[in-house]
């Protein structure tokens, strides 16, 4: 019995030992299983996170692309809106201009307004003001240089840049025609010191058979029309000074136009200011009168200032050729005058050109260019306003002593002061003009530099008036 009990107890102990061993030995297995399970879960989580990151990255890229596309669309829409605004502005101006033109000349039903074709500056960084005045109230006077196929435009541009007192007040726009590569290269060298535009219509121009040798004049008129439309209607300048590529300018060129600008915009009887004196040859001007200015019924050109208001009037009926003679016609001039100087502020060096040197050897190369700087902006120039000028001018001319050319040439005139030489016919005028070396031609009946028929010049230290009778009643267009 006792042995059986011992056996049962021993067996129980052995059984308990086996159970304890298996329990103890099973714990690491469970831990390994748990560790493996956790590791698997972590791996799955890492893969999930990587997937989420990849998805998020793709989403971000999509968002960026959407933003870029939206930005491009916004820019395009903005540009379109701005272009539409510009078009609207141009259309408004054109409608206004057409209305004014109809009021001015109701009979001109066949007038056609020139097309405005955009041609932008090669220097996109050049900031062109869109108003007529600077922030301080001073006027902006744009310089429009016409060029074609002369590389000597460099001479003209060098002087303009040298004497220009302010880039902001006097922006320079060079309008190039002819597609002459060498000329274009010269202009391009000036970079953002200027604005370079190019006349886009280089098609062959229709010319009447009898005028084929004058085709150049047709191209010039087309170029002028396009460029002035562009500068006034696209760039929207209020005032422009026209310069051609074969002109030298005086040191006070800019001061001259700045000083006379208030006259041009305040006196409706004026329609231009010119830097040129057609009879301004050395020996026919007073070297000590660089500050003296005149009114003239003859349109001088060769460096002249006009306003948008005038171009508004002329643009719809701009001619196909010979624009300078056209502008001198009574229908265009409408009894208006220009300001011109005693001593020219421009001088042409262009012997060769469309005109084939007409007048150059006899007259133009002898024009005296002013060298004395005159501060016109500090002068009182109200004596040039029509109401003031006409009374004084008529009194001076017709109260002066009457003399003959021979008396004046021989120095036998005793009376002091200005003198007058009368003329009563076209031929009488031409004969006397040739004797003095004046330009003797007429345009629409108006002699060069004439005002109320009077041509004033300087000869042997004396002011001379070549004048019609005191009861003069207007120009005779048959004298041309």
Q: What is the DSSP string of 264-331?
A: HHH-TTEEEEES--TT-BTTSS-TT-TT-EEEESS---SSEEEEHHHHHHHGGG--SS-HHHHHTSHH
Structure-token pair, residue 239: 């005032």
In a domain, 85, yes or no: no
Same domain, 276 and 229: yes
Give the number of domains in the chain.
2
Same domain, 254 and 151: yes
What is the per-residue pLDDT for 124? 33
What is the per-residue pLDDT for 172? 98
Same domain, 362 and 433: no
In a domain, 350, yes or no: yes
Same domain, 154 and 281: yes
What is the per-residue pLDDT for 12? 59
Q: Whole-model pTM above 0.85? A: no
Q: Which of 128, 155, 141 is nearest to 242 (CA)?
A: 141
Indicate if 324 belongs to the active site: yes
What is the per-residue pLDDT for 45? 53
Residue at a domain's end among 317, 350, 370:
370
What is the per-residue pLDDT for 350? 77
Q: Which residues contact 418 (CB under 8 A, 6 or more apart)?
A: 396, 397, 400, 401, 462, 463, 464, 465
Mean pLDDT, contiguous 10-residue spans, the chain (480 residues): 53 57 46 50 55 52 52 44 44 45 40 36 40 91 97 97 98 97 97 97 93 94 98 97 97 98 98 98 97 98 97 98 98 98 95 61 92 98 98 97 95 94 97 97 98 98 97 95
SS3 of residue 165 by DSSP: coil
In a domain, 175, yes or no: yes
In a domain, 106, yes or no: no
**From 324, 390, 440, 441, active-site residue:** 324
Same domain, 245 and 346: yes
Structure-token pair, residue 374: 């005159």
Contact in structure between 97 and 316 (CB atoms under 8 Å):
yes
What is the per-residue pLDDT for 93? 47
In a domain, 55, yes or no: no
In a domain, 105, yes or no: no
Same domain, 296 and 188: yes
Query: What's 442's domain CATH number?
Result: 3.10.180.20
Taking the C-alpha atoms of residue 139 and residue 170, their distance in angstroms, rounded to an integer, is 9
In a domain, 249, yes or no: yes
314: Cα separation from own chain's centroid: 17
Same domain, 240 and 192: yes
Task: Say what the alpha-carbon torsion angle 391, 395, 398, 399 is, to the nearest 10 degrees.
Answer: 170
What is the per-residue pLDDT for 110? 38
Same domain, 339 and 460: no
Alpha helices in 105-210 (DSSP H): 153-163, 181-188
Same domain, 364 and 409: no
Residue at a domain's end among 349, 370, 391:
370
Same domain, 206 and 323: yes
What is the per-residue pLDDT for 361? 84
Taking the C-alpha atoms of residue 47 and residue 467, their distance in angstroms, rounded to an integer, is 107
Taking the C-alpha atoms of residue 365 and residue 11, their distance in angstroms, rounded to an integer, is 144
Query: What's 317's domain CATH number?
Result: 3.90.550.10
Residue ranges of E strands in 83-201: 142-147, 172-176, 195-198
404 burial type by CB count under 10 A (0-12 exposed, 13-18 middle, 19+ buried): middle
Same domain, 300 and 435: no
Same domain, 184 and 314: yes
Residue at a domain's end among 318, 349, 370:
370
State which residues form the domain around 417.
399-467
What is the per-residue pLDDT for 14? 55
In a domain, 89, yes or no: no
């Amino acid at each position: 019995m006792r042995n059986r009990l011992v056996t049962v107890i021993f067996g129980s102990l052995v059984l308990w030992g086996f159970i304890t061993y298996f329990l103890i030995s099973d714990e690491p297995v469970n831990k390994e299983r748990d560790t493996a399970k956790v590791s698997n879960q972590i791996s799955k989580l890492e893969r999930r996170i990587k997937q989420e990151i990849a998805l998020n990255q793709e989403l971000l890229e999509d968002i960026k692309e959407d933003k870029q596309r939206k930005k491009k669309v916004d820019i395009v829409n903005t540009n379109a809106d701005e272009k539409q605004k510009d078009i609207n502005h141009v259309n408004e101006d054109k409608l206004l201009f057409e209305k004014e033109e109809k009021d001015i000349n109701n009979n001109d039903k066949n007038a056609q307004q020139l097309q405005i074709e955009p041609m932008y500056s090669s220097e996109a960084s050049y900031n062109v003001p869109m108003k007529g005045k600077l922030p301080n109230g001073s006027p902006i006077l744009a310089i429009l240089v016409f060029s074609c196929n002369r590389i000597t435009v460099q001479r003209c541009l060098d002087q303009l840049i040298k004497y220009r007192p302010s880039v902001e007040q006097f922006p320079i726009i060079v309008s190039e025609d002819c597609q002459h590569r060498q000329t274009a290269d010269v202009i391009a060298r000036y970079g953002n010191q200027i604005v370079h535009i190019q006349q886009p219509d280089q098609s062959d121009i229709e010319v009447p058979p009898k005028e084929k040798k004058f085709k150049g004049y047709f191209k010039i008129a087309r170029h002028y029309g396009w460029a002035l439309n562009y500068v006034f209607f696209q760039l929207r300048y209020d005032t422009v000074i026209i310069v051609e590529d074969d002109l030298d300018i005086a040191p006070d060129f800019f001061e001259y136009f700045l000083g006379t600008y208030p006259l041009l915009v305040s006196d409706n009887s004026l329609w231009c200011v010119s830097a040129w004196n057609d009879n301004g040859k050395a020996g026919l001007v007073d070297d000590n009168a660089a500050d003296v200015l005149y009114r003239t019924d003859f349109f001088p050109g060769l460096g002249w200032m006009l306003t948008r208001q005038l171009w508004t009037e002329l643009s719809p009926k701009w001619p196909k050729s010979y624009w300078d003679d056209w502008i001198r016609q009574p229908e265009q001039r409408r009894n208006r005058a220009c300001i011109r100087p005693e001593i020219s502020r421009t001088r042409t060096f262009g012997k060769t050109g469309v005109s084939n040197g007409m007048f150059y050897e006899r007259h133009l190369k002898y024009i005296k260019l002013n060298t004395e700087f005159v501060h016109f902006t500090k002068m009182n120039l109200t004596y040039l306003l029509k109401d003031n000028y006409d009374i004084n001018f008529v009194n001076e001319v017709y109260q002066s002593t009457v003399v003959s050319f021979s008396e004046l040439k021989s120095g036998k005139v005793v009376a002091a002061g200005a003198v007058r030489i009368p003329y009563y016919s076209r031929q009488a005028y031409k004969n006397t003009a040739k004797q003095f070396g004046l330009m003797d031609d007429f345009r629409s009946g108006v002699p060069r530099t004439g005002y109320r028929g009077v041509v004033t010049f300087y000869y042997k230290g004396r002011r001379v008036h070549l004048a019609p009778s005191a009861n003069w009643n207007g120009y005779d267009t048959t004298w041309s």
